[in-house]
Every structure is written in structure tokens, then in C-alpha cells.
Amino acid sequence: MTRTEPVATRFAEDCHAIILAGGSGTRLWPLSRTLLPKQLLVLGGASTLLQQTVARVLEIFPPDHVWVVTNEEHVFEVRKQVAVLDPALKGQILAEPLSRNTLPAIMLGLDKVVEADPKALAAVFPSDHLIRNGAAWAADLVRASELAAQKRFVTFGVRPDKPETGYGYIALGDDLGGNAYSVKGFVEKPDFLTADRFLREGTHLWNSGMFLFSAKHFLTQVARCEPVLWDWWMARDETPLVRGYRDIPDISVDYGVVEKIDNITVVRAGFEWDDLGSWEAMYRLGDKDADGNVIRGDVLALNCTGCLLISEGGKLAVSGLRDTIMVQTRDATLACPMDRVQTVRDVVAALKAEGSRLVESHVTVYRPWGNYTVLEEGPQYKIKRIQVSPGARLSSQMHHHRSEHWVVVDGTAEVEVNNEPRILVENQSVDIPKASQHRLANPGKVPLDIIEIQSGPYLEEDDIVRFDDVYGRVQK
């Protein structure tokens, strides 16, 4: 979509965009994990879902009117991904210290919006939706801004094309013209028979989770509907919002505000939309072979039809499957019937209950300085491959419970142990005794690869005491 002057002028003057990028995407496990959720993955197209969302928003909004709200754990990866699209966005990332659902996240973004313009409109977009026909999307935003200027809270509804039980629905009221309707009510994820009736009657739209409203009017409704959140908001001059995050309610914007207020309007979307919220959606939108299979990665499929088969961890060989999902990573494999994809959340919940780390992270974990991959682990030892980006530097740190041994595989390492610096090159090594202060950096122009062998009674990532960190991760 090319930016047109009337749309750009309208939104540049009147509206800010708040992109919500803090979700965990549990229904796409095992690809989506807590530390690398679906919005940061390349699932459809050549870029991540977050990058696709930001690129679409930048067609209308100037960078200084775009705010991305994410989790503290993801802020460096989010900053890196959006900087590829526009370096000015690096300063537009807001970090939640922990997840508190969509309403607090929106209010965190509104803090910046009203600071810039107390009379501004605000548009809220999830970062993990797939949208086609950007010109129609822009036109719908213009229509929504006209309604929001009348103190209407505007949401966007999508015409159903199947009886979907994984989405919320919006009940249509009076026709207001221009594809806009008053809202009679909301229905949260109906059963199949109800969803099928909604589809046949044409009385309901899917709830897209996108909104547009007057920031001032919205905050007035928060004061009325959620007084605890309002008190937290009003105290932000004395206590920054992020400091009080642990004490506020975990509540969605739907439950906290939308379902409690009048004068709600829905704009029926003229664009194609999908939230890529399940493996069924990935199958439905994927390129299919002659047998109706969607295949990605190193997969051998014999006599299979209607399957989604993904491998990111070695050869996946399957035979005689029908309407089945199999997703394999280096450390986990999911298999389930296509019509049971909503139960993936139950799988994740069961893994959490047994304390499995498979919910949190992949074997490769990304950090602001690069990444590390766990190659092997056992009682009192762990082996990692660490890759440090050119010019990057890890924190100055120490560990209470483990010692480490580093071997340089490729590149040049700048190492400091107890204030003693040294340079290591390929095949050279160094010992890091327990409780010694140490630091690793890459002074070169190519990635630095090292093998790290940890040994000790406790090897988890929270055994790190940081003394200095260029990424601001030192606990004060």
C-alpha cells in the first residue's frame, strides 16, 4: 500500500498507534515459547508477524506516533526487529516488567500518547495478526477515526466464513452507514452449534481485537469501570507506571472496559484478516502440495493427506497420516488431530504444571548481544555454544554456584577475569572459577563462537550477578 496524502495527514495530526507485542502464543507451541513468542517468528511471508504489523502501520502513521508495548524479556529482540524497518522506532518501545494483559499494556502506551497530545485518538493493534488488502484496512481506519471523534469506542469486526469456536464474536445492532454498526453485545468463544448459527444468520462478526478511540474518552471510562487501574494511572507522576505493575489487576481491555460501556461501534472490515492463532490457521493459509499437505523443513511424508508437517530439528519421517499436525523442534514434538488444535493450550498447561522448561525457551535463546544454544546437559554440567555479535559485549558478572570453561571456536574473544584482560583466538581457552567477576566481548568484525562448559550444583540462568551492563540489565 502506498501512503496517500489525505490518510497520512489525518493520522499524522490526530492519531497514534499502539502495537501490543507482549503475548506468548501458547497455541503455536512448540515453535512459540515464552522467550520467543509467535509475533517474533517468521510464520507467513519473509518477515516476522511483528515486522509485518509495524510495516503496515508505518504506511499511515509517522514513526513518532507509533508505540510498541512488549514484555521486558523481549524488548531487545523487538527493538532489533523494528529498527530494520525504521531506526527511529528504537526509541518507541515500551517494556512491561511482567505481563498484565491488554488493558494495562494499552494504558502504558496511552501514557506516551496523552503526553504528546491530550486530545489524540489512539488505535490499538495486536502484533500477531495477518492482514491482506492494506488499502481497505487504511480506509476502515479513516472511517473509524470519524466515529471515534464523536466519542464512540470503535472496534473492528470480520465477517465469518466458517463456524470458528476459537474467536470472540460481536453482535450487530443498528446500521450506521459506511460499514459501521452499533454493538448489541459480545460473545466469548461460542460452541460449534452457536458459531454455526451466527454464520448462517449473519448477525455476528469475529472480534479482531483492534480498536480506535479518543484517548481522553477511553481514560474516563477506565476511571468509571476500573478504579484500581485509574488510581495507578493517576499516581504516575510520583511513581512511574512500571514500578506499580505487580500490584495492578491482570485484566483484558474487553473485560475491563469494552463490555462495560455504551456507545460502542463496530466497523465491518473490508480487509482480509486472520490471527494465526492456531496450527489449523497455519495449515489453512499454507501452500499445499498435491496431497493437501503443508510441509516445511526436512520432512519425509509417505501416503499422507491433509496434514501440517513442520520440522526445525532433524528429519521428520511420517507415513499414512490423515488430517494431522506434527511440529518438531530440536527439543520437542507436537502431534495432534487437526480438529483438536485448540487443546494445544492444555498441553502447554500440563507442561507448566510439571515444571518443564520447554514452555519457556528453545534450545537456542536470543540475547541483545547474540545467542546461546544448549548442546547438552546433565547432573551438574551444561554445554553451550555461545555466539557473540560483532562489537557486542556481555555484562560484567559472576556466578555463585558454577564455574565455566570457555573454548574459542571461531573469531576473537576479549576476556576479562577478575580485572585481568586477555585476548583469545581459535582453539584457545580460559577457566572462569566460581564467584569470579568476568566478562566476554567480541572486538572483531565477524561473529565470535565459543563453547562454554558449566559445572556446579546449580546451573540456571538466574545465578547471575551483574556489575555492569551496556544493555541496562543491572539490578539497582
Residue 211 belongs to some domain of the structure: yes
371 and 270 in a common domain: no
> Could you say which of 274, 308, 328 is where a domain stops?
274
What's 382's domain CATH number? 2.60.120.10
Q: Helix, strand or coil for residue 274? A: strand
Domain boundary among 322, 353, 384: 353
Q: Does 243 share its domain with 205?
A: yes
pLDDT (tens digit per residue) in 128-181: 888 988 889 999 999 999 999 888 999 999 999 888 888 889 999 999 998 999
**Predicted local confidence at residue 403, as pLDDT:** 97
pLDDT for 277: 78
Residue 472's pLDDT is 82
Residues of the chain with pLDDT under 50: 1-9
Res 9: pLDDT:
46
Q: Are residues 242 and 136 in the same domain?
A: yes
What's the domain count of the chain? 3
The answer to whether 101 and 250 are in contact (CB under 8 A) is yes
- Tell whether pTM > 0.75: yes
pLDDT on residue 51: 95
pLDDT (0 to 100) of residue 2: 43
Q: Judge residue 23's burial from the number of C-beta atoms within 10 Å of its C-beta, 0-12 exposed, 13-18 middle, 19 or more buried.
A: buried
Check whether residue 386 and residue 293 sit in a common domain: no
476 lies in some domain: no
Last residue of a domain, one of 220, 246, 274: 274
Residues 130 and 203 in one domain: yes
Q: What pLDDT was estimated at residue 10?
A: 54
Q: Is 465 exposed, middle or buried (0-12, 13-18, 19+ CB in 10 A)?
A: middle
Looking at residue 398, what is its pLDDT? 96
| Residue 451 included in any domain | yes
User: Domain of 341?
Assistant: 279-353
Distance CA 322, CA 98 (A): 41
The reply to whether 326 and 441 lie within a common domain is no
**Angle 323-23-56 from CA coordinates, rounded to 5°:** 90
Q: Is residue 25 part of a domain?
A: yes
